[in-house]
Chains A and B, each alone.
Chain A
Amino acid sequence: MASIPVPITRRGGALSGLVDLLTTVDHKKIGIAYIVSSFVFFLLSGLLALGIRTQLAVPNNTFMPQEAYNMVFTMHGTGMIFLFVIPILTGGFGNYLVPLQIGARDMAFPRMNAFSLWLFMFAAIVIMAGVTLAVIGYTVQAPELTQFSSSAAWTAYVPLSAKKFSPQIGMDLWVLGVILLGISSTLGAVNFLVTIYAMRAPGMTAWRIPMFTWSIIVTAGMILVATPVLTAAMVMLIADRQFGTQFFSTSNARLWQHMFWFYSHPAVYIMVVPAMGMISEILPVFSRKPIFGPKVIILSTIAIGVLGFTTWAHHMFVSGIAPEVERFFMLTTMVIAVPTGVKMFNWIATMWRGSLNLKTPLLMVFGFLSTFVIGGITGVIQGAIPVDTQLHNSYWVVAHFHYVLFGGSVFGIFGGLYYWMPKMTGKMLDERLGKLHFALMWIGFNLTFFPMHILGLLGMPRRIAVYGSDRGWDIANLTATIGAFVIALSVLVFIWAYLKLVRQPKAEENPFEGNTLEWLTDSPPAEYNFKKIPVVTSARPVWELRTGLKDQQH
């Protein structure tokens, strides 16, 4: 523990680079490996989304058969949630930034960190291999390959996911993959909590911990409580499927719903809280002001983390839970909007009378704020049980959670990519392409998902492969499909900007005037992060160095 790692300059060709990538325990390389790989899964899951929207573009479409469609939406949800948003935020940004932000040289358990990464990779391959084979199977109509499909939706409700109704091997692959992901995620959470507890730089008291790191504390705590429940449910499911146990027999099929949503509702906050942390990092920097009410922001994050565990049964208002508990879950569901609303106003107050630097990271933050507010409001509407009995499982819900997870998480992720790209690569993403990317994505996003509110109100259920032309759903569906392709175009613009990095000049060390410790080191940082572990005297150590003033906030 006491020894200080000595940087070793390796010489050699591509092979040694590959060996380094496969054997590294450096949190920065692991973080980048998470970011790059989960971005690839984002692209694959996005392609599946285009498949969904193409099939639904017009009524009675025959672009793909129903079985294929069922697999496509199952894997779109699985891929986006388990292989993109969660891993890129915690495994990716969390790994890369947390040690840098707290002034540490690495995570507390570097080898366990590498183990989490490779477990994630293996799980992703288990899941994605099944889909790939099945897609080929549906394309060339080979039934032996479509056996690898998994099509019980990402919620895998029992008994649909039981052996009797989903006999194919792909379902087992899916369950196994999710079990492995659960283990990887849980180990990662332990690592974060220990790292942040034990390895902060001298002087970094609880209130001086940067906002993003605070969000990772709350997220890791949630993962630690929630994810083992999902993993246990999956182990029970595979035991039912393969060893003939009866955990989820017909008489207690609702047990699955409880276990699944006990994880999967907090999972929404697991996906949004780190993105909120990024917003709380980017906003003050681009406003040239400190974050407004840091303690309130931190406390509201903790409140979301705790309340997030009390709302899961609102997914079951129409599935038949006892009427006595309905109102409890309705109240908690509505109340969780309060800490979220508080954050929203604190963020606006941060910008108030600031000096807003309207570069792409801040535009992405505007993308987050302007769309996430709609997702928050529709959450309260849907939380009212009578309204829920009308809108549950309809396209309204699809609109709601995309406003939360795309409007929230994905805009946050892109904001983070633009903000920390010069830290990770030493180069800036092209600003003009960034603005184009933002504009296209914001327009495409609203074109795609806003009409879905209307579809839900008109009675269109989610997860249907076809609909008749007599339902009045044509125009909204076509609009959504056009929007989806605009989003795809915006992602291509981002990839173009990323590829252009090669030709970009070296960026300044701290191009956006960041104030947290990661901006104290070189860009990209050396393997040991800091030549000398910094001593922290406020929440904005780099701001103090830059201005020579004393930060009023302690």
Chain B
Amino acid sequence: MLLPQITQDARLIGELYNFIYIFSILTFLLVEGLLVWSAVRYRRRLATDSPVQVHGNNLAELTWTVLPALLIAVIFVMTVNTMSQLTASGSLTNPISHVHAIGDREAQSRVERAQKVDLVVEVTGKQWFWAYDYTDYDGLGAFGLSTGVGEDLVVPAGKNIRLDMTSDNVIHAWWVPAFGGMRYVNPGDRSYVWFNVPDTGKAQEFLGQCNVFCGKDHALMLSKVKVLPELEFRQWYSATAVARNLPPDFTKADPVRGKEILTGGVCASCHQIAGTKAQGKVAPRELTQFATYPTLAQLPASDPRAAINQENLYAWLKNPAGVKPGTAMPNNKLSNRDAVDLVAYLLTLK
């Protein structure tokens, strides 16, 4: 009844819910009514009351076995019917050929529908934020976004969107209630959610969050989805793709903004800087006097990327594992501007 119904899938789920709900209410009223009736009508009036000793009634018992079973059968059939119309979510790791071999037409058509897509975004569940990789949209190029630094997932309205999801740590789950169909985001396999948000001519926003307990900051792992009309989306996409792929411009670096990013966002859940909001205790060293450290990320001094300077720090922040394979620091998909500002702030920590 209260389920949000924005997409086709969410609407189908809502209709199924309402269908089962009607029978639920009837069952509920019947049972509660009988209970109240019994309590009132058959309460003991005399201490010597002695009711007739009835041990059972085969016909009655058969009736209330068969009728609920029939009701369950109806609900089951209706549910399977709804499932055959849904696309919402599934597993990309389950090979399609396997589905073919089994001859499961419903699962097969679900997979086929999920393959008709206009935009695929690769989603990685992190502790504790989402990273989005846009591989391409109409030949406009690739780039990454991250909720860890306060960016939203942006998708076009009226288009088929598929999120291909995996995790490089624990299990997460993708759930935006208005779209219907949550899915676990598992390490070591790939699952998807598929949706198409109708175009209203305006920008729309939907909120969801991680729905499998994933550790300390699970409650803060939000996912905001911004749905733009196609034209607007295209403008946004090309502008973002260009901006992300420009070389860094250190002349406009803003250390104050860098501090806001570091102490107010995802960085603070691991890093500690005395006198700020950043009080995470995961990273091995405090950043309080970062600029005085002998090398970056405890690399050996002989490494050309070890010296703490603008270029090395920028390369490290954009892709930590590219500089030091196996590091615990995740790739937070920083925009160029965010990375430049962070570098400027970090170099003030003496």
CB neighbours (8 Å) of B208 from chain A are: 459
> Across the two chains, which residue of chain A brings its CB closest to B32?
A370
Q: Find out whether the CB atom of A289 lies under 8 angstroms from the CB atom of B218.
A: no
- Whether A338 touches B175, Cβ cut-off 8 Å, given contacts A165-B215, A324-B107, A380-B20, is no
CB neighbours (8 Å) of A348 from chain B are: 31, 34-35, 38
Q: Find out whether the CB atom of A250 lies under 8 angstroms from the CB atom of B90.
A: no
- Whether A320 touches B191, Cβ cut-off 8 Å, given contacts A369-B35, A386-B82, is yes
Chain A nearest Cβ from B124, distance in angstroms: 14
Which residues of B, 33-72, contact A by the 8 Å Cβ criterion? 34-35, 38-39, 42-45, 49-57, 60-61, 64-65, 68-69, 72
B301 within 8 A of A: no
- Whether A386 touches B83, Cβ cut-off 8 Å, given contacts A358-B44, A466-B219, is yes
CB neighbours (8 Å) of A296 from chain B are: 56, 61, 65
Q: Find out whether the CB atom of B12 lies under 8 angstroms from the CB atom of A70.
A: no
Contact with B along A216-256 (1 / 0, CB 8 A): 00000000000000000000000000000000001101100
Q: Find out whether the CB atom of B180 lies under 8 angstroms from the CB atom of A389.
A: yes
CB neighbours (8 Å) of A506 from chain B are: none
CB neighbours (8 Å) of A378 from chain B are: 24
> Across the two chains, which residue of chain B brings its CB closest to A155?
B213
Q: Find out whether the CB atom of B42 lies under 8 angstroms from the CB atom of A67.
A: no
Q: Find out whether the CB atom of B104 lies under 8 angstroms from the CB atom of A390.
A: no
> Across the two chains, which residue of chain A brings its CB closest to B128?
A66
CB neighbours (8 Å) of A7 from chain B are: none
Contact with B along A114-143 (1 / 0, CB 8 A): 000000000000000000000000000000
CB neighbours (8 Å) of B187 from chain A are: 159, 250, 253
Contact with A along B176-188 (1 / 0, CB 8 A): 0100111110111
> Across the two chains, which residue of chain B brings its CB closest to A164?
B169
B93 within 8 A of A: yes
- Whether A159 touches B171, Cβ cut-off 8 Å, given contacts A292-B54, A349-B60, A552-B53, is yes
Most buried by B among A67, A392, A458: A392
Chain B nearest Cβ from A470, distance in angstroms: 8
Chain B nearest Cβ from A438, distance in angstroms: 13
Q: Find out whether the CB atom of B20 lies under 8 angstroms from the CB atom of A358.
A: no
Q: Find out whether the CB atom of A356 lies under 8 angstroms from the CB atom of B43.
A: yes
Contact with A along B1-32 (1 / 0, CB 8 A): 11110000010110011001100100110011
Chain B nearest Cβ from A539, distance in angstroms: 9
- Whether A356 touches B16, Cβ cut-off 8 Å, given contacts A159-B187, A346-B61, is no
Q: Find out whether the CB atom of A387 lies under 8 angstroms from the CB atom of B16.
A: yes
Chain B nearest Cβ from A340, distance in angstroms: 9
Which stretch from B73-81, B135-143, B244-252, B316-324 is at the chain A interface?
A: B73-81
- Whether A289 touches B54, Cβ cut-off 8 Å, given contacts A319-B184, A348-B34, is yes
CB neighbours (8 Å) of A386 from chain B are: 12-13, 16, 79, 82-83, 86, 88, 180-181
Docked CA distance A157–B93 (Å)? 20
Which stretch from A30-38, A39-47, A326-334 is at the chain B interface?
A: A326-334
Docked CA distance A224–B33 (Å)? 39
> Across the two chains, which residue of chain B brings its CB closest to A459?
B177
Q: Find out whether the CB atom of A392 lies under 8 angstroms from the CB atom of B182.
A: yes
- Whether A288 touches B50, Cβ cut-off 8 Å, given contacts A159-B169, A358-B39, is yes
B209 within 8 A of A: yes
Q: Find out whether the CB atom of A290 lies under 8 angstroms from the CB atom of B54.
A: yes
B189 within 8 A of A: yes
CB neighbours (8 Å) of B299 from chain A are: none
Which residues of A, 441-463, contact B by the 8 Å Cβ criterion? 454, 457-459, 461-463
Q: Which of B24, B104, B170 contacts A323 (CB 8 A)?
A: B104
Q: Find out whether the CB atom of A357 lies under 8 angstroms from the CB atom of B44.
A: yes
Q: Find out whether the CB atom of A344 lies under 8 angstroms from the CB atom of B31.
A: yes
Docked CA distance A345–B27 (Å)? 11
Chain A nearest Cβ from B52, distance in angstroms: 7
Q: Find out whether the CB atom of B213 lies under 8 angstroms from the CB atom of A342.
A: no
CB neighbours (8 Å) of B171 from chain A are: 157, 159-160, 253, 319
CB neighbours (8 Å) of B1 from chain A are: 457
CB neighbours (8 Å) of A338 from chain B are: 65, 68-69, 72
CB neighbours (8 Å) of B35 from chain A are: 348, 366, 369-370
> Across the two chains, which residue of chain A brings its CB closest to B179?
A390
- Whether A342 touches B68, Cβ cut-off 8 Å, given contacts A66-B216, A387-B17, is yes
A377 within 8 A of B: yes
Q: Find out whether the CB atom of A294 lies under 8 angstroms from the CB atom of B56.
A: yes
Which residues of A, 326-375, contact B by the 8 Å Cβ criterion? 327, 330-331, 334-335, 337-338, 341-342, 344-346, 348-349, 351-358, 366, 369-370, 373-374
Which residues of A, 373-402, contact B by the 8 Å Cβ criterion? 373-374, 377-378, 380-381, 384-387, 389-390, 392-394
> Across the two chains, which residue of chain A brings its CB closest to B106?
A323
A287 within 8 A of B: yes
CB neighbours (8 Å) of B53 from chain A are: 289-290, 551-552
> Across the two chains, which residue of chain B brings its CB closest to A553?
B55
Q: Find out whether the CB atom of B188 lies under 8 angstroms from the CB atom of A342.
A: no
CB neighbours (8 Å) of A461 from chain B are: 175, 209-211
Docked CA distance A369–B207 (Å)? 38
Binding site for B on A (CB under 8 A): 66-67, 70, 152-153, 155, 157, 159-160, 165, 250-251, 253-254, 287-290, 292-296, 318-320, 322-324, 327, 330-331, 334-335, 337-338, 341-342, 344-346, 348-349, 351-358, 366, 369-370, 373-374, 377-378, 380-381, 384-387, 389-390, 392-394, 454, 457-459, 461-467, 471, 551-553
Question: What 6 pairs across the A-B complex have the smallest Cβ distances?
Answer: A355-B49, A459-B177, A464-B219, A293-B56, A323-B107, A457-B2
5 pairs from A and B in contact (CB 8 Å cutoff): A323-B90, A323-B94, A355-B44, A392-B173, A461-B175
List 4 additional contacts besides A70-B218, A384-B17; criterion CB under 8 Å.
A318-B184, A323-B94, A356-B42, A465-B219
